[in-house]
Amino acid sequence: MAVRFVVFASGNGSNFEALAKATQNGDLDAHCVGLIVDRMDAYAIKRAHHLNIPVCLYLKDWYMNKEAMESSMLKQIQAWDAEWIVCAGYMRIIGKTILDAFENRIVNIHPSLLPKYRGKDALGQALQAKDKILGITVHFVDDGLDTGKIIDQVSFEIADNEPRIEIEEKLHHLEHAFYPKVLKQLWEVKP
């Protein structure tokens, strides 16, 4: 039976779209039941509409506190009957309300070889450090900033003076193939 998952995103949504398409073309035996975004200008919203996937917007200013916002989010996730939460460019730390309800069932993709370069602009951090081997990590989400147990990683090498835009293109291309593959392995039913 296909795993039901919801995606959390904050921006462009290219990883969200790659996951949704992987489910639609049969590469990933799962069903994306919805998208949760925290920014009104997130391009992921347009991608979801194009893919006929329901979207819910949650802005922190609409709520008294983080717990109230996450309680509302949790009700929607449960209404969609999601079994997993898949973060794809979600730029908020998930709090106790959702972590407790989905313990060991929240995953994230991060554009570095964790534990190196946690948080925002991991690519910028790696380039600033003049790293030549970059990578991607898929990990479980805990209450820290990119500190959850690592599920899998993949690395790639960059050339001296390679333009950042080309590195970003490589990174995104790799993410779009790697994330569905890792989720498939994670969700596969073992005989």
Amino acid at 61: D
Convert the pLDDT of each residue in 12-35 to its tens digit.
Answer: 999 999 999 999 999 999 999 999
**Average confidence (pLDDT) over 67-77:** 98
Mean pLDDT for 83-94 is: 97
Q: Which own/partner contact pairs does 49-53 have at CB distance under 8 Å and 24+ positions apart?
A: 51/17, 51/20, 51/21, 51/24, 53/20
Q: Is the pLDDT of residue 190 over 80?
A: no
Distance between CA atoms of 73 and 59, rounded to whole angstroms? 11
Kindly state the average pLDDT of the residues 106-125: 96
pTM: 0.94
Are 48 and 13 in contact by the 8 Å Cβ rule? The answer is yes
Q: What pLDDT was estimated at residue 28? A: 95
Residue 191 has pLDDT above 70, yes or no: no
Mean of the pLDDT values across residues 124-152?
96
Catalytic-residue membership of 50: no
Q: 143: buried, middle or exposed (CB in 10 Å: 19+, 13-18, 0-12)? A: exposed
pLDDT digits (tens, 9 = 90+) for 33-59: 999 999 999 999 999 999 999 999 999
Identified catalytic residue from 31, 49, 50, 110: 110
Residue carrying the six token digits 């919805």 = 34
Identify the pLDDT of residue 94: 97
Give 3's strand partners.
30
**Fold (CATH) for 3-187:** Rossmann fold (3.40.50)
Tell me how far apart the alpha carbons of residues 177 and 154 are, in angstroms, rounded to a whole number. Answer: 11
Residues annotated within the binding site for (6R)-10-formyltetrahydrofolate are: 66, 91-94, 108
Give percent of the chain with pLDDT exceeding 70: 98
Two tokens at 55?
């979207």
- Which pLDDT score is estimated for 153? 98
In this predicted structure, the answer to whether residue 133 has a pLDDT above a threshold of 80 is yes
Residues 152-181: tens digit of each pLDDT: 999 999 999 999 999 999 999 999 999 999
pLDDT value, residue 189: 60
Pick out the residues of the known binding site: 13-15, 66, 91-94, 108
